[in-house]
Amino acid sequence: MPANDLRLLIIQPTHYKAPTDRTLFKTKRRQMVPLALPYLAALTPPEWKVTLLDEQLEDIDFDAPVDVVALTAWTLHSYRAYDIAKEFRKRGVKVIMGGPHVYFNAEEAAEHVDAVGVGEAEPIWKEMLEDAAANRLKSIYRATPLKELNGLPAPRYDLLDLKKFGPFRTFAVQSSRGCPFVCDFCSERFYLGGRYRWRPVDEMVNELKLIKNRGSHFFFGESNFGGKKSRAMELMEGLVPLGIRWSTLWSSNLCLDKEFLDLARKSGVMHVNIGIESIDKDILDGMRKGWNKASRYHEMFENLRQRDISYSLNFIFGFDDEDHDIYRATISFLEEHKVPAAYFNILTPTKGTALFNRMEKAGRIINAPEIDRWPGQICQIWPKNCSPKEMEARIQWMYKKFYSMRSIFKRLPFPPRTRSDMSSWILDLTERRMAFSSTGNNDFDIY
C-alpha cells in the first residue's frame, strides 16, 4: 500500500442482546462520548486516513474502501467483533484487534483476526499498522507497560459526529491508569498496565481546555481518581479555573477526607461512583477491602451530601459467608441513608484474579469461556447458599425494589433543589427504565 493512501477504519463494536437473541444492541444517541476511538486515532501516524465508527450508533458498510480495520472490544462485544472481522476478511481486508478482552483472550481472538495487540496501545499501535501496510503482520503483539504517562496525544474528537451524543454530552477522559489497591475480584489493574501511573497535571489541563469548547462535562474514566491523593489534589487545583463539571470513581476512604472533598467540590465535581461492595465488615475483610469502613458509611454519605456531591454505590453479592438477609438489609440500609443511586452486581470470577483461580480449582465456575459475554447480571458461579438462578432473581429483585417509585421518592428530595438532586433524579429514572424493562438486563452500555 503506497504512503498517504492508507485507509484505516477503527470500530467499537456493539453487542448481541442475548445468547438466544442475536439482535444487535443499538441506540440513537449516547450520553458519553467514548475515549478509545478518538484516542487510537490520535496515536495513528499521519499517512493514514482514519475513520471512526461506533456501531451502537451507526451501521457498518462492509464494502467500504478500507485497507485495515481495527476493533477495540470488551468481552461483552467479543462475539460481535469476531463476526465483523469475518465479514471484512472475506473481502480481503486486514483486521487487527485490541482492548480489554484481548488481554486475557489473546489466543482466542487471534483465531478470528489477522493480529491482536495485548496491553497498552502506545508501544505497539504504530508497529502493527506498519506491519499491516507491509503485509507482515504477526499474530500477537504484546506491549511493555508504559513507565510514565507523559506526552500522550489529545484524542481526535474532531473525527466523531458529536451530534450523535446529544446537547448535554459528557466526554470520557483519562488522567491515570492502574490502581494502587489489589482487590480479590478485580482484573482492571492488569489490562490498565498494572502499576498506578498518572498524567502530568499541565498536560491534562491543556487537553481539557481543547475539549471544553465542545462541551463542559467530563468523566474521568479510571479505576481510582484519587489513587495518589497529592496528585489528585494538584489536578483538582488545575481544574478550578476551567469552570467545568466532572464525575469519576474514587475509593471510599476519600469520602472521609474533608479537605479532599472541599477541593473536589470547588473544582466542579458533580458525581462520584464508589465501590463499597458490602455493608458487612466480615465480607469486606474477606475480599481484601479493609479500607472500606462500614461503621463510617453514614459519615461518608453526610460529607458528600453537605457538599452537594451526587454519588452512587457499587455492591457485590454472592460471597460464601453472606447472610440470607443481606439483600433486604442492604435495601433498608440504602433507603435509611437516602443513598441516591446504587448498582447491584453478582460476584464474577474474571480471568487473572485470585477469585478466578480459587473458583476454578474448586470447580465452582459454571462456564468460564462465557463470563462477561452477555449484558446483564448473570451468575457464572455455583453459589454456596442458593442456585445460580436464585442469585440472579435476588439481584433483579433488588433493582426493582430500589428503583421503584416508592423507594425513589423515599430517598430523593422532591422537588429537586440542587444540581446534585437533579443529577440523582435523572440517574434513578434511567436505572428504573432498565430495571423494569422486558429483559431487565441492566445494560450500562447505553451510556
Q: Where are the domains of the chain?
A: 6-142, 168-446
Does residue 330 sit in helix, strand or coil? helix
Give the rounded distance of the alpha carbon of 16 from its chain centre.
18
As a whole number of angstroms, the distance between CA 16 and CA 82 comes to 12
Confidence (pLDDT) at 236: 98
Does residue 295 sit in helix, strand or coil? helix
Confidence (pLDDT) at 188: 77
Cell numbers linked to 265: 467540590
Confidence (pLDDT) at 310: 94
Contacts of 410 (CB under 8 A, 6+ apart): 335, 338
List strand residue ranges (DSSP E) for 47-138, in order: 48-54, 68-72, 94-98, 115-118
What is the reported pTM? 0.92
Confidence (pLDDT) at 439: 53
Instruction: Judge: domain 6-142, CATH 3.40.50.
Output: yes
Confidence (pLDDT) at 408: 97
CA distances in angstroms from 30 to 67, 171, 256, 307, 446, listed in the order given: 28, 11, 33, 29, 6
From first to last of the 447 residues of the chain, give the pLDDT tens digit.
445 589 999 999 999 999 889 999 999 888 899 999 999 999 999 999 999 999 999 999 999 999 999 999 999 999 999 999 999 999 999 999 999 999 999 999 999 999 999 999 999 999 999 999 999 999 999 999 899 999 999 999 999 998 888 777 899 999 999 888 777 787 777 767 668 899 999 999 999 999 987 767 999 998 899 999 999 999 999 999 999 999 999 999 999 999 999 999 999 999 999 999 999 988 888 777 767 778 899 999 999 999 999 999 999 999 998 988 999 999 999 999 999 999 999 999 998 888 999 999 999 999 999 999 999 999 999 999 899 999 999 999 999 999 999 999 999 999 999 888 898 999 999 999 989 875 555 544 443
| Burial category of 163 from C-beta neighbours within 10 Å (exposed 0-12, middle 13-18, buried 19 and up) | exposed
Contacts of 236 (CB under 8 A, 6+ apart): 263, 264, 266, 267
CA distances in angstroms from 52 to 36, 44, 65, 139, listed in the order given: 10, 12, 14, 24
**Closest C-alpha to 175, from 219, 220, 217:** 220
Cell numbers linked to 315: 455492591
Cβ(203)–Cβ(150) under 8 Å?
A: yes
Confidence (pLDDT) at 186: 78
As a whole number of angstroms, the distance between CA 5 and CA 356 comes to 46
Cell numbers linked to 116: 491482536
- b vs e for 386-419, b when ≥16 Cβ sit within 10 Å of the residue's Cβ? bebeebbebbbebbebbbeeebbeebbeeeeeee
As a whole number of angstroms, the distance between CA 297 and CA 108 comes to 43
Confidence (pLDDT) at 193: 65
DSSP strand pairing (68-72 vs 341-346):
unpaired
Structural class in CATH, domain 168-446: alpha beta
